[in-house]
Amino acid sequence: MNALKNFWNNFKTRPDIWFFYGFLLTFTLFVRKVLFFYPINGQFNEYSGIYLYLSDIFLILTVVFWGTFILRNKSEYLSSIKQCFGLNNPLLKILLIFNLWIFISILWSDNQVIALFRAIKILEFNLLFLYIIVRIVPCGKIYKKCHPEFDSGSKVFLDSGLMAGMTEAENVSHETFLQRVFQIIIFIGLFQAIIGIWQYLIQHSVGLFWLKESLISPNIPGVAKVIFGGEKFIRAYGLFPHPNILGGFLLFSIIITWVYWKLIKIPLNPPFTKEENGIVPCGTIFKLSPFLKGRNKEGFLKIALFIQFIALMITFSKSAILGLIMAILYIFLKIYRNRIVPCGTIHKNLLRNMFHVEHIKRLLLLSLISLLLIIAIKPNINSLILKSLNERIIYLNLSDKIISDNPIFGIGNGQFVLEMQKYSVIILESWQFQPVHNVFLLIWSELGLIGLILFLWFLWRIFKFSPFSKGRLERDFYLTIILKSVVIGFIFIMLFDHYFWDIQQGQILFWLTAELLVGVNSIGVTTVEN
């Protein structure tokens, strides 16, 4: 009873945070209400409908209660946001211009209803962008001279977990917030991986239709399959609408599980063995929570990592598997090639313990063994590679024609599938009405060269901040590298798939990762002139 009362007290002080956790727990689910759709060839099409997802409801509640909290603490909160992030931040300007251009493209869209819906979805995820950045960026007490390399004319802002004029119950420090986000991602990754492995072993749906699990079996047309020895096998779906999306999510959750496992093993620096006045000392990565305390913590994370890796392999998502390899190589190159120790507080032996080359070798060896096993069972190359390549060529040719006719302004947001028959020399079958499997070509087709440049500008800006900049904390240094590696993996996937742009789960996955990266980049230290 006391636990329930404590939960209620915590919930009513900051309901937006709890609704955000609910959003994280539900964003991978396909639970939704189809509000309206435009038939294509007399049939339902995923890309011509308007939907309300369960995760949308949690996100709307998050933003509404966050707005209420801001209004209630207007003077203190807005001034802290301005100090910490700055309303003149170039990234915010890029997002504002990008969203404005998306809404302007409605004017020349043939189906303006779908264009408006798609524009609202991008705006929704950009509001999530602002929320996460503000939740992560520390806005609190001034903590002077944590780093001796700063001159005496600077002040360094570090998170105390408390903002001026607010009680401790009304605040969740960015440390705790990040920790809980990572824990939820690990839990979801393990849950989805187990379901995916289960589906593959029994070769049909598990039966979680109340969670909108896809109806799958080797004999159902349209289900993603591979052929081994002349026999059809379904690929692991989890609770996602397609194995490729599960693969993209597992790339994210595997990296998060791995980094969580490594970061929690870093000891505190000798001068900072206690927390004082709520200030998280330099070198602290996470406060250990009851969720992963004790000796079983490392064992649990190892098992979770292994299960997720197996699930990724049986999605047979080539882009996700290669994206994971690229992400790991990026981490390896950044930490070992540069041999840079930020702030001078973590020694090289600690670096080696955290991301030891042996761990990298084990991951690469596991990948190689998995590849050799796939080769040993002699998969049908046509079903595994050639079929998908031939299908993608159709969409690439259509994209080329659309871009040639509409190079600057595009055909309007969300219009590719609705307009593709006009540019096709053959009559397309119902299953062929899909976007081009390349996010950058899709954006160019729909939003023109202007939209593509704005999107590339945004990607460049989130990478522009150097993790080796003066004054970076160890925590932020590592998290920045890790999240950049995930984004690099996603960018690789974007070259071969479209779900990061036009499918709810993929959209959230991309924007969530970008938001965490920008938020972590903005943590650490913010200097202001005296």
* Paired tokens of 421: 């028959």
To the nearest 10 degrees (0 to 180), the angle between helices 504-521 and 112-136 is: 30
Question: What distance in Å separates the CA atoms of residue 195 and residue 209, rounded to the nearest whole number?
Answer: 12
Q: How far apart are CA 413 and CA 507, in angstroms?
A: 15
Contacting residues for 259 by C-beta, under 8 A, at least 6 apart: 478, 479, 482
- Rounded to the nearest angstrom, the gap between the alpha carbon of residue 235 and the centroid of all alpha carbons in its chain is 22
Would you state the structure tokens that stand for residue 307, as one six-digit string?
A: 């299960």
Burial 57-87 (b: 16+ CB within 10 A, else e): bbbebbbebbeebeeebeeebeebbeebbee
Burial zone of 108 (CB within 10 Å; 0-12 exposed, 13-18 middle, 19+ buried): middle
Which pLDDT band holds residue 375 (cuts at 50, 70, 90)? low
pLDDT surpasses 90 at 19: yes
How many CB atoms lie under 10 A from the CB of residue 435? 25
Residue 149: pLDDT over 80: no
Q: Which of 6-10, 11-15, 133-137, 204-208 has the highest mean pLDDT?
A: 204-208
What's the pLDDT score for residue 403? 96
Owner of token pair 């925590």: 475
What per-residue confidence (pLDDT) applies to 130?
A: 81
- Nearest-angstrom CA–CA distance, 270 and 267: 9
Residue 434: CB atoms within 10 Å: 19
pLDDT at 10: 75
Q: What is the pLDDT of residue 185?
A: 95
When mean pLDDT is compared across 79-93, 132-146, 273-287, 416-430, the lowest value belongs to: 273-287
Report residue 53: phi and psi, to 5°: -90, 155
Q: Dump pLDDT digits (tens) for 415-432.
A: 999 999 999 988 998 888
More confident residue, 373 or 519: 519
Residues 6+ apart with CB under 8 A from 257: 185, 186, 189, 301, 304, 305, 308
Structure tokens at 186: 């690990």
Burial of 107 (0-12, 13-18, 19+ CB in 10 A): exposed
Whether residue 347 contacts residue 341, with contact meaning beta carbons closer than 8 Å, is answered with yes
Rounded Cα–Cα distance for residues 135 and 128 (Å): 10
Q: Give 389: exposed, middle or buried? Use CB within 10 Å, 0-12, 13-18, 19+.
A: exposed
| Residue whose pair of structure tokens reads 């046509």 in the numeric block | 382
Confidence of residue 438 (pLDDT cuts 50, 70, 90): very high
pLDDT band per the 50, 70, 90 thresholds, residue 169: very low
| pLDDT value of residue 298 | 77
Distance of CA 285 to the CA centre of its chain: 20
Q: What is the pLDDT of residue 277?
A: 38
Q: How many residues does the chain have?
A: 530
% of the chain with per-residue pLDDT over 70:
69
Mean pLDDT (the chain) is 78
**Region of poorest pLDDT, from 32-36, 63-67, 100-104, 330-334:** 330-334
For residues 102 and 37, give the distance between their C-alpha atoms in angstroms, rounded to a whole number. 21
pLDDT, tens only, 319-353 = 999 999 999 889 888 876 655 444 444 444 444 45
pLDDT in tens, 495-521: 999 999 999 999 999 999 998 888 777
**For 134, phi and psi rounded to 5 degrees?**
-70, -35
pLDDT tens-digit series, residues 469-479: 444 555 667 78
Distance between CA 426 and CA 10 in Å, rounded? 60
Distance between first and last Cα of the chain: 51
pLDDT value at position 152? 37
Tokens 């001279």, residue located? 145
The CA distance from 320 to 393, in Å, is: 20
Q: What is the pLDDT of residues 43-61, one digit of tens each?
A: 999 999 999 999 999 999 9
Q: What pLDDT sits at residue 300?
A: 87
- Hey, what's the torsion of the CAs at 31, 36, 40, 44, to 10 degrees? 30
Q: Residue holding tokens 């999530």? A: 128
| Mean local confidence (pLDDT), 437-445 | 96
In this prediction, residues 142-165 reach a mean pLDDT of 36
* pLDDT, position 163: 40
* 4 Cβ contact partners less than 8 Å away, ≥ 6 residues apart: none
**Mean pLDDT value of segment 35-43:** 93
Q: What is the pLDDT of residues 188-246, one digit of tens each?
A: 999 999 999 999 999 999 999 999 999 999 999 889 988 877 788 999 999 999 999 99
CB-based contact 51:35 (threshold 8 Å)? yes
Using DSSP, state whether 43 is helix, strand or coil: strand
Q: What is the pLDDT of residue 193?
A: 98
Radius of gyration of the chain (CA): 24
Cα–Cα distance, 233 to 218 (Å, whole number): 6
Question: Which residue's structure tokens are 């939209």?
Answer: 451
**Which residues does residue 157 pair with via DSSP β-bridges, in sequence order?**
142
Highest mean pLDDT among 105-119, 276-290, 424-438: 105-119
Indicate whether 437 pLDDT > 60: yes
Q: Is the pLDDT of residue 280 over 80?
A: no
Alpha carbon distance 467, 340 (integer Å): 10
DSSP 203-238: TS--S-GGGT-----TTSTT--EEEETTEEEEPP-T
Q: Is the pLDDT of residue 385 over 80?
A: no
Q: Give the three-class secondary structure for 15.
A: helix
Residue 492 has pLDDT above 70, yes or no: yes
Q: What is the domain partition of the chain in residue ranges?
A: 2-529
- The residue type of 438 is N
